[in-house]
Amino acid sequence: MSMPQGKSTTFAQGTLPDLVVVNVRDTQAVNMSGAFLTPVKPDYVENATKALVKRAQEMDKVYGVAPVKTWVVRIGDATKSADALAEPVSLQQLVDGVEETVASRLSQE
């Protein structure tokens, strides 16, 4: 069977991200998209990372919604400012950590 290929190259679905930040919270979900209401300028990755970190820190401080645990998966120097949120880990360490944290918290209920 043949699948249409017309759209397969029009999206970046095969591109791995420079930065992944995952939070487990016991308060509520927090949307960080406000970090990008003002468009970032070049260097895009570095400035987007800084904007995200600033937004996360402000939300946690002002609204008291600090996460129970945060994981950061990152590549390159441009994402270094995300280290302020958590020590960088591998993707597998993130998955294992989320699984362990959620299981532990559910067993406490």
Residuewise pLDDT in 10s, the chain (109 residues): 555 566 666 666 778 999 999 999 999 999 999 999 999 999 999 999 999 999 999 999 999 999 999 999 999 999 999 999 999 999 999 999 999 999 999 998 7
pTM for the predicted model, two decimal places: 0.85
Question: What are 74's strand-pairing partners?
Answer: 19
d(CA 32, CA 53): 9
Q: Determine, yes or no, domain membership for 5.
A: no
Domain containing residue 82: 19-107
Backbone angles phi, psi at 85, to 5 degrees: -90, -40
Q: Determine, yes or no, domain membership for 50.
A: yes
Number of domains in the chain: 1
